[in-house]
């Protein structure tokens, strides 16, 4: 579990209480922290000092043992922290003074494709002669496995990948991607695992998923376009996927649950949901400080509960640390798309930054920040953390 | 690391010396073993008793520490075992009396598509109106990530998965797959990892890959056909992938290296290979004891060294325990295909078993065995182990 100096901490409210893994200056070992305001409560130290029954869960400094402990323990730890915030202040340090590292070991990583607007846009760009959506799109949440070993914490430099691509004249070239892109997504972190052969029904979502993080699924569009038929994206995605250092417990998002868009046609039984797991989140995307998009998660066609039910309906087992991401979040309006591919319409309408420069795709040195917020019933907006990364050559 | 009673052990020659992880009756902890004949040498016990400098590598009973130790250690351990076989006999037990478990923790699992014959057959069946091979096929070894968490050891029962599929009349159905298939593949087990951003060139293959296993990439063809556009196979594959309990060191296959088929057109520079990494292996597939195919690995278009170079050319990092499989091994002749999809031509020409019954695809209760052998220069054939699994409802 290595990491680099992570993202700036967003100012967390006292009911959000996201978890992180962090390293104090001069120390080698990691600790588990809880975000309060712009500080981190050192939970590893606090529970050890107090000889708390759950101290052992935090001793290793990673979220892995907590994830595996299951929903009853998640609830008890969160309740304990919320009830003892004042007393725990003695273990509080400014987040800006510590190194935030990858908070859990990613077991399997799955990326979905759950935004109708994004899928339609990509379909028009990649398959201009076909239908925007493939025939299966409204029947199941399309997804594929990505590379768990290249999931990195926010702040990790992103080296521009090289790969094969087909030029306009049909020749096959090899070199650095000319179409390096971001993808703003919401990630769902599985805690409690499941047994091989046992599907997880849509209503058991919150018994298995621990929380939410912010994901940038970096993409090399020219590599992807050449390689992805017939077995899907591979090297166009596998060079790096960045995640926020904070995992926000699902419990903190109870007030942000909303009805998802109406699904038409009705999906088959295992995808039918009575409990609403739409989420009123917004992902604000900035390139070098210029906000280029505010992508509304509320528009996602498939909910994370449906994604999990689909992922396991064939009996595939879950493990603690499985991460599944929503796919690029794009809304219907201008300035709501979660990728430069869509924002610049494959480069044909470059995006203008505050310094007057334009971007079709990312240049070396560009810094991408995706900051997530949730709007709770009543309208109050809470911060969920952010993921950032700078492109290097 | 859990497992079930594993495959019967093939009779290993004294220069093959494959590794396994096994559990003695009545014990809970696993041990690392080396296969000799039909026995297992308990390397964990042997090296501990002798206070060998590498005893610590085997204490945990998994191959993970050995994999991570790198090529120099692999060589030293293999040399030590080969030189001390007689003395180690006191730690030898019949393999039939122990439980063979998953020998290493799978980090990332990638499945390639490296047989031209297989890709052509699948193209004809899945895309009858298009070209058999996609335009990219001869330019790069196509691959995709699979689910590491559902890689299981030989002998694990395979529950028939359910999923969505499109009926002939266009309606969307959900239920148990009617087209459960096997795929005979060779798996390559990564030992030494690599750094993010650093491609592994084709000539460094044997500095990173530790050894070889046999893979059955179970597939639900009806689920796969409906879901795989545009992001590739997902639930049609992710319910289970079986691997042999034995990992044969690459060093044991030195005599089986052959020139791969001629590649036309010449691939781009990073895929050009001077050292031949074609392998003269055969995968013998049996259903309920009837041999239905003998698939020649010598026919594979892309070598495993090319697969590894491709997998990392975008800077994707390797971790110890990464597993990449060749994709289905199919030869050009009759009875050389590595899947029932091809052998029965999508069910239109069912395969007849010795008991007179026929199979388009697998039925509940069917037992599939894939046994691998290598032909060394000079013609001698050595056993590489086998993977088996029985279908349950």
Q: What is the pLDDT of residues B182-209, one digit of tens each?
A: 999 999 999 999 999 999 999 999 999 9
CA distances from A21 to A2, A101, A353, B299, B388 (A): 11, 6, 34, 49, 41
For residue B6, being part of any structural domain is answered with no
Among B230, B315, B328, which would you mutate to test the A interface (most chain A Cβ atoms within 10 Å of its Cβ)?
Answer: B230
The pair of structure tokens assigned to A222 is: 């020219």
Q: What's the CATH number where A300 sits?
A: 3.90.850.10
pLDDT of residue B10: 59
Task: Please tell me which residue of chain B has the smallest CA distance to A196.
Answer: B150
Q: Which residues contact A128 (CB under 8 A, 6 or more apart)?
A: none
pLDDT of residue B6: 37
Q: What's the CATH number where B35 sits?
A: 2.30.30.230
> Are A358 and A327 members of one domain?
yes
Torsion of CA B141, B143, B148, B154, to 10 degrees: -60
Sort residue A143 into left (φ over 0), alpha (ψ -120 to 50) or beta.
beta
Chain A hits for B142, CB-CB cut-off 8 Å, are 227, 230-231, 234
Cα A120–A123–A128 angle (5° rounding)?
Answer: 125
Q: Is A132 on the interface with B (CB under 8 A)?
A: no
- CA A186, CA A67: separation in Å to the nearest integer? 18
> Are A48 and A148 members of one domain?
no
For residue A8, being part of any structural domain is answered with no
Q: Is B223 on the interface with A (CB under 8 A)?
A: yes
The pair of structure tokens assigned to A188 is: 């769902």
Which among A311, A73, A316 has a CA at the least distance from the CA of A195?
Answer: A316
pLDDT of residue B8: 41
Q: Which residues contact A292 (CB under 8 A, 6 or more apart)?
A: A285, A286, A335, A340, A343, A351, A353, A359
Which among A150, A145, A373, A383 has a CA at the least distance from the CA of A279?
Answer: A373
pLDDT of residue B5: 33
Q: Is A130 on the interface with B (CB under 8 A)?
A: no
pLDDT of residue A306: 98
> Are B250 and B343 members of one domain?
yes
Q: Is residue A61 exposed (0-12), middle (13-18) or buried (19+ Cβ within 10 Å)? A: buried
- CA A210, CA A247: separation in Å to the nearest integer? 8
> Are B91 and B113 members of one domain?
no
- CA A246, CA A183: separation in Å to the nearest integer? 18
DSSP annotation of B7 reads: P
- CA B81, CA B179: separation in Å to the nearest integer? 45
How many whole angstroms from its chain centre is CA B388? 12
> Are B59 and B141 members of one domain?
no
Are B142 and A239 in contact (CB < 8 Å)?
A: no
Backbone φ and ψ of B126, nearest 5°: -85, -25
Q: What is the pLDDT of residues B234-279, one digit of tens each?
A: 999 999 999 999 999 999 999 999 999 999 999 999 999 988 999 9
> Are A168 and A58 members of one domain?
no
> Are A368 and A222 members of one domain?
yes
Task: Please tell me which residue of chain B has the smallest CA distance to A235.
Answer: B314
- CA A344, CA B303: separation in Å to the nearest integer? 39
Residue B213 is part of which domain span? 109-392
Using the 3D structure, point to which of A76, A101, A126 is the last residue of a domain. A101
Using the 3D structure, point to which of A101, A122, A140 is the last residue of a domain. A101
How far does the CA of residue A262 sit from the closest CA of chain B (Å)? 19
Q: Which of B164, B220, B231 is closest, CB to CB, to A233? A: B231
For residue B188, being part of any structural domain is answered with yes
Percentage of chain B lying above the pLDDT 70 cut: 97
Are A136 and B220 in contact (CB < 8 Å)?
A: no
Chain A hits for B107, CB-CB cut-off 8 Å, are 148-149
Q: What is the pLDDT of residues B369-393, one digit of tens each?
A: 999 999 999 999 999 999 999 999 9
For residue B3, being part of any structural domain is answered with no
> Are B286 and B317 members of one domain?
yes
For residue A29, being part of any structural domain is answered with yes
Catalytic residue among B91, B118, B208, B310: B118
How far does the CA of residue B52 sit from the closest CA of chain A (Å)? 30
Beginning with the edge strand found earlier in the chain, give each strand of the sheet holding B19-23 in spatial order.
B92-94, B39-42, B31-36, B19-23, B99-101
Q: List the pLDDT tens digit at each of the 393 positions of chain A.
A: 223 333 344 589 889 999 999 999 999 999 999 999 999 999 999 999 999 999 999 999 999 999 999 999 999 999 999 999 999 999 999 999 999 999 999 999 999 999 999 999 999 998 888 899 999 999 999 999 999 999 999 999 999 999 999 999 999 999 999 999 999 999 999 999 999 999 999 999 999 999 999 999 999 999 999 999 999 999 999 999 999 999 999 999 999 999 999 999 999 999 999 889 999 999 999 999 999 999 999 999 999 999 999 999 999 999 999 999 999 999 999 999 999 999 999 999 999 999 999 999 999 999 999 999 999 999 999 999 999 999 999
For residue A278, being part of any structural domain is answered with yes
- CA A101, CA B225: separation in Å to the nearest integer? 40
Q: What is the pLDDT of residues B216-245, one digit of tens each?
A: 999 999 999 999 999 999 999 999 999 999
**Is residue A282 within 8 Å of residue A372, measured between CB atoms?**
yes
For residue B388, being part of any structural domain is answered with yes
Backbone φ and ψ of B71, nearest 5°: -65, -35
- CA B388, CA B371: separation in Å to the nearest integer? 8
**Is residue A12 within 8 Å of residue A35, measured between CB atoms?**
yes
Q: What is the pLDDT of residues B6-52, one digit of tens each?
A: 334 458 988 999 999 999 999 999 999 999 999 999 999 999 999 99
- CA B392, CA A309: separation in Å to the nearest integer? 22
Task: Match 């009756």 to its residue by tokens.
Answer: B25
Q: Is B140 on the interface with A (CB under 8 A)?
A: yes
> Are B357 and B285 members of one domain?
yes
Chain B hits for A235, CB-CB cut-off 8 Å, are 310-311, 313-314, 316
* ipTM associated with this complex: 0.96
> Are B126 and B80 members of one domain?
no
Q: Is B148 on the interface with A (CB under 8 A)?
A: yes
Using the 3D structure, point to which of A101, A134, A164 is the last residue of a domain. A101
Mean pLDDT, rounded, of chain B: 95
For residue B42, being part of any structural domain is answered with yes
> Are B124 and B89 members of one domain?
no
Alpha-helical segments (H) within chain B: 43-49, 55-58, 64-69, 71-83, 85-88, 116-126, 205-208, 221-227, 304-312, 340-343
Task: Match 């993080």 to its residue by tokens.
Answer: A213
Q: Which of B164, B223, B234 is closest, CB to CB, to A139? A: B164
Q: Which residues contact A90 (CB under 8 A, 6 or more apart)?
A: A46
DSSP annotation of B318 reads: P
Which among A52, A51, A65, A54 has a CA at the least distance from the CA of A21?
Answer: A65
> Are A69 and A126 members of one domain?
no
A117 is catalytic: no
pLDDT of residue A5: 33
Q: Is A319 on the interface with B (CB under 8 A)?
A: yes
Q: How many structural domains does chain B have?
A: 2
Q: Name the strand (E) or helix (H) holding B391.
A: strand B381-392
How far does the CA of residue A47 sit from the closest CA of chain B (Å)? 30
HSE (side-chain half, CA atoms, 13 Å) at A95: 26
Are B152 and A196 in contact (CB < 8 Å)?
A: yes
The pair of structure tokens assigned to A245 is: 């250092």
Catalytic residue among A52, A75, A117, A118: A118
């Amino acid at each position: 579990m290595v990491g680099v100096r992570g993202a700036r901490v967003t100012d967390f409210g006292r009911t959000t209480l996201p978890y992180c893994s962090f390293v104090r200056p001069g120390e080698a070992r990691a600790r588990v922290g809880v975000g309060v305001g712009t500080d981190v409560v050192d939970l590893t130290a606090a529970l050890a000092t107090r000889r708390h029954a759950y101290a052992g869960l935090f001793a290793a400094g990673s979220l892995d043992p907590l994830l595996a402990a299951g929903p009853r323990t998640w609830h008890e730890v969160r309740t304990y922290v919320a009830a003892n915030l004042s007393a725990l202040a003695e273990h509080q340090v400014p987040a800006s003074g510590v190194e935030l590292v990858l908070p859990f070991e990613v077991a399997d990583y799955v990326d979905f494709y759950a935004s109708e607007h994004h899928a339609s846009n990509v379909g028009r760009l990649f398959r201009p002669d076909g239908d925007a959506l493939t025939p299966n799109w409204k029947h199941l949440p399309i997804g594929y496995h990505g590379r768990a070993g290249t999931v990195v914490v926010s702040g990790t430099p992103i080296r521009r990948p090289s790969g094969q691509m087909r030029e306009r004249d049909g020749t096959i070239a090899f070199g650095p991607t000319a179409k390096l892109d971001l993808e703003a997504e919401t990630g769902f972190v599985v805690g409690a695992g499941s047994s091989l052969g046992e599907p997880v029904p849509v209503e058991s979502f919150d018994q298995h998923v621990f929380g939410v993080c912010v994901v940038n699924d970096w993409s090399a569009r020219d590599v992807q376009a050449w390689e992805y038929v017939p077995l899907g994206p591979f090297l166009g995605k596998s060079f790096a996927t960045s995640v926020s250092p904070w995992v926000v417990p699902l419990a903190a998002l109870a007030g942000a649950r909303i009805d998802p868009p109406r699904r038409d046609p009705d999906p088959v039984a295992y995808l039918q949901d009575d409990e609403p797991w739409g989420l009123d989140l917004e992902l604000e995307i900035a390139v070098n400080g210029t906000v280029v998009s505010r992508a509304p998660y509320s528009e996602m066609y498939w909910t994370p509960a449906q994604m999990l039910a689909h992922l396991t309906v064939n009996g595939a087992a879950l493990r603690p640390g499985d991460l599944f991401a929503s796919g690029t979040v794009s809304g219907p309006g201008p300035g709501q798309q979660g990728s430069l591919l869509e924002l610049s319409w494959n480069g044909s309408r470059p995006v203008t930054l505050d310094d007057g420069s334009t971007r079709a795709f990312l240049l070396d040195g560009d810094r991408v920040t995706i900051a997530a917020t949730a709007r709770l019933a009543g309208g109050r907006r809470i911060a969920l953390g952010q993921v950032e990364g700078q492109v290097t050559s």
